[in-house]
């Protein structure tokens, strides 16, 4: 069973943001929670042949072109430092967000929009 130490969590707006490293896969599971989980994400690098994918078949390391081919035009996008974040779904409801660095997907998140 995986867990985290308190020093791996940061308080953000009354919620805990925690990262759980999975060293054998070179991935980090990201959680944002208070009394319930609001965001679940995965970030890091992965073998393109990996079986880790979202329900749409998008994997870490996929090119952005594959994302738009599979999911179509995103509902929103914005710059975050040197990365692009694209969102599929409503701002205030269940949505998927993908972080793109250069032309590669480096993070996938599922959020409840709160």
42-56, 79-93, 95-109: lowest mean pLDDT where?
A: 42-56
- The rounded distance, in Å, linking the Cα atoms of 102 and 12 is 27
pLDDT by residue (tens digit) across 59-93? 888 999 999 999 999 999 999 999 999 999 998 88
Using DSSP, state whether 79 is helix, strand or coil. Answer: strand
> Domain map of the chain by residue range?
6-111
- Whole-prediction pTM: 0.77
Start-end of H helices in the chain = 64-71
Of 85, 68, 26, 20, the closest CA to residue 50 belongs to 26
Could you tell me which CATH number the domain at 6-111 has? 3.40.33.10
């Amino acid at each position: 069973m995986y867990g985290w130490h308190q020093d791996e969590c940061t308080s953000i707006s009354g919620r805990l943001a925690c990262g759980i490293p999975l060293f054998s896969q070179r991935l980090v599971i990201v959680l944002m929670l208070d009394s319930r989980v609001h965001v679940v994400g995965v970030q890091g690098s992965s073998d393109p042949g990996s079986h880790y994918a979202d329900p749409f078949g998008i994997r870490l390391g996929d090119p952005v072109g594959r994302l738009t081919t599979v999911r179509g035009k995103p509902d929103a996008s914005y710059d975050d430092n040197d990365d692009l974040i694209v969102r599929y779904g409503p701002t205030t409801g269940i949505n998927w967000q993908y972080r793109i660095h250069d032309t590669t997907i480096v993070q996938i998140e599922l959020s409840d929009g709160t």
